[in-house]
Amino acid sequence: MATNRFLPSRMPQCQVTAGGGKCPKAASLRRSIAIVALFAIWISVPLAAQQSAGAPTDKAADRAYPASMQTFQIPSHGALLNAFVYVASGAGPHPAVILLHGFPGNERNLDLAQDIRRAGWDVLYFDYRGSWGSPGDFSFSHAIEDTVAASAYLRQLAMTKLLRLDPSRIVLIGHSMGGFMVVQGTAADPAIIGFGLISAADLGGRIPQQLSKESEQVAIQRLSAGYAREGMAPLAGCTPEGLARETLANAAKWSFLSKVDALRNRPALIVTSDDGLAPGNDAFAAALRSAGDVRVTTLHLPTDHSYSDQRNALSTAVLQWLAAVLSDQPKQ
C-alpha cells in the first residue's frame, strides 16, 4: 500500500488500559492528520480555480465524429510540405483556418489552433518549403506559393471528406512573417472569406522606394543582419543575404498597401503589440477602411512579439472575430 509522504509510515504504539484510558500520542496524531487534510483542501481550491480560469470549455465527445488529428503532406511545386490538421468534433462540414507561422517559426501558436478547433473549426498547420524539415529551399517567394497551394489542397474532394470540411469557408490567420503570407495568399485567392494578422511583418512596405546603389547595399546589410538574428537554423537552401536581396527585389509588389484593392471586400482582424510593427499595421488598417472595408477589426495588446503574457486575450479576440466572420456567411 502506498504511503502518503505527508504522514508517518508507522502509527505510534500506546497501551490501552483496562479502564479505557486514552492514548495521548494517537490523539495528537489525529489532530495532525486533520490539520494536514484541511490544509490540503484549502490549498487545492485556489489552484484548481487558477487552472480553470479563462480556459475554454471542452464539448462532450461526439462518438460518431470525434475530434482528431490528421497528418499528411501537401504537394507544392515539386515538394511535399509537412502538415497536419486539428479536425473539429462533429459531422460538419466545418469551416477551416489555415494558421501560418512566422520567421523562422519558433512560435507556432498551436494553443490558438486548439482553441479554434474547440470552437468548431478545422485548423491546418504546415511548414513552408525548406523550413522545419519540409523538403526544398526556403524563400519568401516559395512560402507565398506554398500558402496558395495549401488553400487549394484543402478544397480537394478527398480532403473535404477526410476533414469534414467546408471548402467555401476558409480563413487565413498568420503571425509575424505568417501575417505577410496571409496578405499575399488572400490577395491571390478571392475565395478566402477573411484574413487575420497578428503582428504582421510587412516585408515590402518597410523598404523605401528608389534606393540608390549605396543605400541598397546598406539596406541589404541591415536586412541580412536582421534575418540572421531571427535564426536561420530551421531553414534550408537560403542565406540571410539571399533573403535580403529577394526582399528588395520584390518590395513594391509585396507591400501591404499594394494589396488593399484586392482585400478591401473581406473581413480583416489586425492585432498589434509593443514590438515596433504596430505603426505599419495601423496604416494598413486605415488604408483598408479608406478603401471602403467596413469589416476591419483592430486590437492592440501591451505585450511582446510572441504575445507571451496575453495568450488568453489573443485567443478571445481571434475566436470572437471568427464567430463574426461566420455570421456574415450564408448557412450551409
Torsion of CA 308, 133, 226, 144, to 10 degrees: -90
> Domains of the chain (ranges plus CATH)?
68-203+255-327 (3.40.50.1820)
Order of all β-strands in the sheet with 194-198: 68-76, 79-87, 122-126, 94-100, 165-175, 194-198, 268-272, 296-300
Say what the pLDDT of residue 24 is.
45
- Angle (CA) 76-79-80 rounded to 5° is 85
DSSP 65: S
| DSSP string computed for 130-175 | TBTT-SS---HHHHHHHHHHHHHHHTSHHHHHHHTEEEEEEEEEEE
Find the largest Cα–Cα distance for the chain: 107
Q: Would you place residue 331 in the very low, low, confident or very high pLDDT band (cuts 50, 70, 90)? A: low
Beta pairing partners, 86: 69, 123
**Exposure class string for 234-270: b at 16+ Cβ within 10 A, else e:** ebbebebeebbbbbbebbeebbbeebbeebbebbbbb
Least confident range of 22-31, 54-63, 131-140, 231-240: 22-31
Side-chain half-sphere exposure of 179, counting CA atoms within 13 A: 26
Per-residue pLDDT at 1 = 39
Q: In angstroms, rounded to a whole number, what is the distance separating the alpha carbons of residues 219 and 223?
A: 6
Return the bridge partners of 100, or none. Answer: 174
Q: What is the pLDDT of residues 126-178, one digit of tens each?
A: 999 999 999 999 999 999 999 999 999 999 999 999 999 999 999 999 999 99
pLDDT at residue 20 in the model: 41
pLDDT reading at 35 higher than 50: no
Give the three cell numbers for residue 319: 475566436
Kindly give the residue spans of alpha helices, DSSP state H, lying in the chain. 24-52, 110-118, 140-154, 157-163, 177-188, 213-230, 240-249, 251-254, 260-263, 278-290, 311-327
The pLDDT of residue 66 is: 96
Taking the C-alpha atoms of residue 154 and residue 95, their distance in angstroms, rounded to an integer, is: 11
Classify residue 318 as exposed, middle or buried by CB count within 10 Å of its CB (0-12, 13-18, 19+): buried
What is the average pLDDT across 227-246?
Answer: 97
Q: What is the pLDDT of residue 46?
A: 42
How many residues are listed for the chain in this entry? Answer: 332
Q: What is the pLDDT of residues 266-312, one digit of tens each?
A: 999 999 999 999 999 999 999 999 999 999 999 999 999 999 999 99
Contact 142, 129 (CB under 8 A): yes
Let me know: does 165 contact 93? Beta carbons within 8 Å: yes
Q: What is the pLDDT of residue 330?
A: 66
Give 103 or 212, the one with higher predicted confidence.
103
Mean pLDDT computed over 258-269: 98
Q: What is the pLDDT of residue 59?
A: 72
Q: Is the pLDDT of residue 234 over 80?
A: yes
Closest CA to 174 of 71, 287, 277, 292: 277
Banded pLDDT at 15 (limits 50, 70, 90): very low
The pLDDT of 251-258, averaged and rounded, is 96
One-letter amino acid identity for 132? Answer: W
pLDDT over 70 at 34, yes or no: no
Mean pLDDT of the chain: 86
Q: Which three cell numbers stand for residue 165?
A: 470540411
> Can you tell me the distance from the alpha carbon of 142 to that of 37, in angstroms, rounded to the nearest whole number?
61
Q: What is the CA radius of gyration of the chain?
A: 27
* pLDDT in the model for residue 2: 38
Neighbour-count burial of 119, counting CB atoms closer than 10 A to its CB (0-12 exposed, 13-18 middle, 19+ buried): buried
Q: Given CA atoms 233, 234, 239, 244 in this order, what sign does their dihedral have? A: negative
DSSP calls for 8-36: -SSPPP-PPPTT----HHHHHHHHHHHHH
